[in-house]
Amino acid sequence: MNSTARSTWSGWDPYPLFVQGGSGSRLTDVDGNTYIDYLLGLGPMILGHRPPEVTRAVVSMIEDRGTVFALPTEDESRLVAKLIAAVPSLEQVRLCNTGTEAVLYATRLARAFTGRSKIIRFEGMYHGFSDGLYWSKHPDLDEAGPDRAPVAVAQGPGLPRGVGDNLIILPWNDAGLLAEVLEREGHDIAALITEPVMCNTGCILPEPGYLEAVRELTARHGVVFILDEVITGFRLGLGGAQGLFGLKPDLSVFAKGMGGGFPIAAMGGRRDIMALVADGTVSMAGTYAANGIAVAAANATLDILARQGTFESLFERSDRLREGLERLLSDARIPSSVVGLGPVFQVWFSEHPIRNYRDAARHASHTVFRRWWEGMMERGILFHPGAFENLFVSCAHSDDDIDQTLAIAREVVAELKGT
């Protein structure tokens, strides 16, 4: 397996599906079974599989122009102009290949800009697999310290000792605690990084006022506010979660959705901070950064997403699915909630409300989730087997797909109820 997220460890037990290919909202495995796909490559396939305009743009780039030049092109300037027009907090942007890279650049830049070392990161989020941030989504809470003072726990072996000393781990959705920590240690903290919605623990929503408090507190202490929009960007709207919530972070990172299935990411924000990248003080290199294929794909993807009505109809279908699932589960009196926003959400099987990672780790039932997942999968509905992952809806999902999914969910919920 070429990613931990495709392994037995992540729930693909005893082994993952092997894929033959995909088209629109459908994915077909090597045995010829076809699924309505809510895994969507873990998010990039916002337009569905093989969106024709993106495919044509990529093929034309390869056939007519080339792929890697190690020199700038007008296409990448056009792409960056589109990003800046779409997302109000972006004044300058750098392109790279993956979310992991973009986050790494953002944290490096924040450290260079502030001259400080520490980074605040929240329990249960994921910001890529770099040594610096692959921490504190640990299933064994006994190792993770007290609820209001978590310690940095590596998410796996192989990380250098001491890297975690540069992290301050906090529970999410607790503005009071954040205020205390910033009051005490703010002078030492370079950046705070957060997802706007905790999509890496099954889509926990920010409580009203929380992100605004994060914005205000980080500004007060000169801490760079990094918004990780790798999942939410170009999914919750053309302006990402920040557009939807009216939020203005200092730096933001984007990946997944912006490339329509090709590896591209972006890091950008305030001009005075980005100046350190622009003048070469902070290095952001990469042989494949802004390569021709990815740029062509992203230009085509953003043009499609920018069309009138795209997000309205994506949200309409997604909301119908989410609300339909919610109704089925609550009518069956199965302790659960369907939590998320628009085209990204998760079903929690829990009697308790989930507002941060520890709530999820303590209360969410993996056993019931597993039965839900298996029931859906056996009937042709595909999503990730991890209870802390998400379902993604694409622009290619039709009303018919949603109807079929709800009809199948009705059968599976009846089974869950009967046991």
- Catalytic site positions: 126, 228, 256
| CA 5 – CA 385 distance, rounded (Å) | 10
Q: How far is the CB of 231 from ligand PMP (least distance, A)?
A: 5
Nearest distance from residue 199's CB to ligand PMP, in Å?
6
Nearer to ligand PMP, 83 or 416 (CB): 83
Q: How far is CA 308 from CA 239, 256, 351, in A?
A: 14, 21, 40
Site string for ligand PMP, 348-387 (x = CB under 6 A): ----------------------------------------
Contacts with ligand PMP, 3-42, as mask; x by CB under 6 A = ---------------------------------------x
Site string for ligand PMP, 223-252 (x = CB under 6 A): -----x-xx---------------------
Q: Minimum distance between the CB of residue 384 and ligand PMP, rounded to whole angstroms?
A: 11
Of 49, 111, 121, 127, the one binding ligand PMP by CB under 6 A: 127
CA 197 to chain centre: 8
Cβ nearer to ligand PMP, comparing 260 with 324: 260
Per the listing, tokens 């302790």 go with 335
Contact 195, 245 (CB under 8 A): no
- Each residue 176-195 as x (binds ligand PMP by CB under 6 A) or -, in order, gives -------------------x
**Out of 126, 134, 262, 373, the residue judged to bind ligand PMP by CB under 6 A:** 126
Residue 231 to residue 45: CA distance in whole angstroms: 11
- Secondary structure of 209-242 as H, E, C letters: CHHHHHHHHHHHCCCEEEEECCCCCCCCCCCHHH
Q: Smallest distance, Å, CB 235 to ligand PMP? A: 11
Question: Which is closer to ligand PMP, CB of 203 or CB of 413?
Answer: 203
Residue among 194 and 405 whose Cβ is closer to ligand PMP: 194
Helix, strand or coil, per DSSP, at residue 66 = coil
Single out the residue of 201, 236, 405, 413 nearest to residue 321, CA to CA.
405
User: Could you tell me the smallest distance in angstroms from the CB atom of residue 332 to ligand PMP?
Assistant: 31
Angle at 416 between CA 414 and CA 418, to 5 degrees: 70
128 near ligand PMP (CB under 6 A): yes
| The one among 103, 178, 251, 368 contacting ligand PMP by CB under 6 A | 103
């770099």: which residue's tokens?
130
Considering only residues 198-217, where is the footprint of ligand PMP by CB under 6 A? 200
Q: What are phi and psi of 118, to 5 degrees?
A: -80, 155
Stretch that binds ligand PMP, among 98-106, 275-283, 308-316, 411-419 (CB under 6 A): 98-106
Distance CA 416, CA 419 (A): 6
DSSP string across 331-342: HTT-S-EEEEET
Q: Torsion over CA of 201, 86, 95 and 70, rounded to 10 degrees?
A: 150
CA 256 vs. chain centroid, Å, equals 8
H or E element at residue 122: strand 118-122
Comparison of 47 and 193: residue with beta carbon closer to ligand PMP:
193
Sites of contact with ligand PMP (CB under 6 A)? 42, 98-100, 103, 126-128, 195, 200, 228, 230-231, 255
